[in-house]
Structure formats: structure tokens, C-alpha cells
Amino acid sequence: MRTNRREFIGRTAAALTLAGRAAAQQQDPWSEVTAILGRIKAPTFPDRDFAVEAFGAAGDGQKDCTEAISHAIDDCNRMGGGRVVVANGVYSTAAIHLKSNVNLYVAKGATLRFLRDPKRYLPLVYTRWEGTECMNYSPFLYADNQENIAITGEGTLDGNCDSQNWWNWVRGAARQRLVDMGARDVPIEERVFGEGSFLRPSFIQPCHSRNVLIEGVTIVNSPMWEVNPVLCTNVIVRGVKINSHGPNNDGCDPDSCRDVLIEDCVFDTGDDCIAIKSGRNRDGRRVNAPTENVIIRNCEMKDGHGGVTIGSEMSGSVRNVFAENCMMSSPHLNEALRFKTNAMRGGTIENVHFRNMEIGEVSDAVLQIDFNYEEGSKGPELPAVRNISLRNVTSKKSKYALNLRGFANAPIRDVRLEDCQFENVAQEDVVENVEGLVKRQVRMTRKGA
């Protein structure tokens, strides 16, 4: 069938328009942000409250309120959803399991203080522990296969941990046993830990869930990773304040999640402030679920290992991360922007973009990409890191501006810096096995210059 001239011109114009849009997107990766934000929506809940006091809870810091809070959540879920309200006072509780259409609202002046007895976090539940699936103690606030769930309010979540409680369970033999099980594809139901294994649970961990909101609360004294959504879609972490300096006290660790927004948060942590993950080693590759489409904005990072980190458990890959308008500064913050991987992790990190980042002081590097983390080159997998950009990133004091260390047989590719200024830098950049490093309008002043 013949095509007339008008149709031909119309089709050609449309094709050129699409090509132009594609070219524009290729030139400016930030054009993807609008589409990602368009998919991220906070869950909504019926205008219905369930006060935990009505179910027998008391905010006296003494009574065990676990059963009362559980009954309130059950009723709220059964009646179609709403808010489970924790009002003024200190409420002692063990593990809390959220259900669909429930918003756990911790009001200003209220504290959920978690009990220290590990037996109160049984029975075992499915969890991902440092990127490997297993059966372990319940996270303190947990959900699995739920939809439309939230933890909100201006109250406090107190993990009640210290050097004698939970934090002394560090780097035990069970950690390596779990990694070995992942390497051998042991069925998850046979990866049984819990009592006697000393694997600390995460604080907040929704798994296999959709439409998750964590907003406004203050988190202190966490047993381990603090906000750790696993295999979730449509996650918002907003206005959360974290001050917890125990071992492995990462602030927010989205793990194999899609469409994530982290904004207006304050991190003061004992490990990475934000750490984006997607499973560890062979187990992460088996699950094969990347973390993708993550937006981080308007956050403040104080103490921690890395400000915005990707890895090290990222074997399922990480892509499409956009971080902007964040402030970072502390002599106890090691790196501002940190990538960590190795030849056991494998996986790909790609399309990661930072802009308008204001960095005061860090003890090591503004940007670190390290293929030599932990096992380093001792493994069968070659990691890939590519298409990383920094635009309008400034720092006032650091050991390095860039510390980039790839492998000779797997170089870091396509790192671009534009309109960046690094002041008071103690040492020259480290650049090993990097291809396609581009600097435009980048200014660096050495310490003492």
C-alpha cells in the first residue's frame, strides 16, 4: 500500500521527535527522574484509628504491650485498614508484625522501646541477613507479603541496644556458615539460625511488600541495619531521623527494591548512612533482583562509613540511582559517595548520578569506587561499574577527591565530573584501572596550598 506525502512527513517528524527525546535523555540522565517519581506514591489509609490503649497497652515503660499492639494491628487489618495509634508514653514491646492497610502511628511524645530478650523475637521468620536469605529472629518491625503499610508519626523507635545487648553479637561463626549455605544453594527453609547463632535482626524490614511508607519517626539504638526494605516496590522513607552508632548500624538499606524515594532524612550512624544493596554473592545472583530507580534528595549525613553507598552486597545489580541536594560533613564520615564490590559479588552498578552535593569534611575520599573490598580479586566474578556522574559536587576537606580502584580485567568505565570543586585535599587522586574518566570544570586545591 502506498504512503502519501503527508503521511510520510508526519511519520518522519514523529520519528525525529522520538529520536530527539532519546538523544536528550542520553545527554541528561536526570530526565528519568520525573518518570520515576510519577510511579512512587504514598499509601493511603481509611480515616479510622485504633488506639493501642483500648487493647490493653500502657505507656508506663513497664507493661509488655506486644500482645495489645498485635491485636490492634489485627483488628485494623480485618476492618479494612486505618491507623494503629501509639500515644504519649513509653511502650515496651517485642517484635511487631505489620499487616496490609495498617499505618502504625507513633505520636510525638511516644516511644516504642523494644525488649532485650532475644526469645521474644521468635518464632523464626524469613529474612535477608547481609544479603543472604535465611530463617532468623524476627526484625523488630517486620512485614512479609503485605501491601499499603506505614510507620509514621513524630515519636521514637528505641531498639534498646548497647554493648551488652545485641551489639556484642558481632562477626560470629554463624555469619560465615550462612554465606557458605548461600554458596551451596542450601534451601532457605534449611538455613535455620536464631537461638545460639548470634545473627542480629534488622530494626525495620518489610519483605516482598508494595506501597511502603516510613515517615517522621526518630530511630535510636538499633540492633543492626535500621531501615531495610527487601524485595519491595514503591518505598518512601521521608523525614526520618536516625542516631544509632552500634556495629553495622546502616541507616537505610534498600535491598533488591524498585522505585524508592529517600528524602528529608538525617543520618548519624555507626556504618553507612545509606547503602543500596541487592543480595550477596551466589545467593544474590540466584534471586537476581536488582535495586533500581532510587531517588535520594535533601538528606543530611553526619557520622558514618559512607554517605551514599552502593554495595557491598550488590550481586543482583544496582541501576538508575539519582542523589541530589544532600549535605554531608563529619570527621567521622569516611567517604561521601562510596561504591564497594569485589570478585565474589560480581553484579553491575550502572547509571548512578549525583548533583548539588555539599560536602564539608570527610576523612577519606569524596568519591570512592573500590573493587578490592573484603575478598577483593579472590573470586570468580568480575564486577562492573559504569556510567557514574557528579555534577556541582563541592567539598571543603578530604584525604582524596577521587579514590578509584578497578581491576585490570574489569576496569571502572565512564566516570564523569562536571562543575565540581574539591578544596583542602591532602593527597593526589588515586586512579587505577579506569577507562573514560572525564573532568570538565573541575577545580582541586591541595591542603596547605
Residues noted as catalytic = 271, 305
- The CB-side HSE value for 210 (13 A sphere, CA atoms) comes to 2
Cell output for 125: 521468620
> Length of the chain, please?
449
Is residue 423 a contact partner of residue 397, using CB atoms and an 8 Å limit?
yes
Please confirm whether the linkage preceding 315 is cis (ω < 30° from 0). no
- Rounded to an integer, what is the distance from CA 267 to the centroid of its chain? 12
Burial code (b: 16+ CB inside 10 Å, e: under 16) for 328-362 equals bbbeebbbbbbbbbbbbbbbbbbbbbbbebbbbbb
Q: How far is CA 177 from CA 2, 172, 225, 230, 313, in A?
A: 69, 9, 20, 21, 17
**Whose CA is closest to 249, among 279, 228, 265?**
228
Sign of the C-alpha dihedral, residues 120, 97, 297, 400?
positive
Cell output for 433: 584501572
What distance in Å separates the CA atoms of residue 368 and residue 340, rounded to the nearest whole number?
8
- Strand ranges, E, within 87-240: 89-93, 96-97, 102-106, 110-114, 125-129, 132-136, 141-144, 147-152, 156-158, 204-207, 210-215, 218-220, 233-238
- Strand ranges, E, within 130-272: 132-136, 141-144, 147-152, 156-158, 204-207, 210-215, 218-220, 233-238, 241-244, 258-263, 266-269
Q: How far is CA 303 from CA 251, 314, 330, in A?
A: 11, 23, 6
Is residue 132 a contact partner of residue 280, using CB atoms and an 8 Å limit?
yes
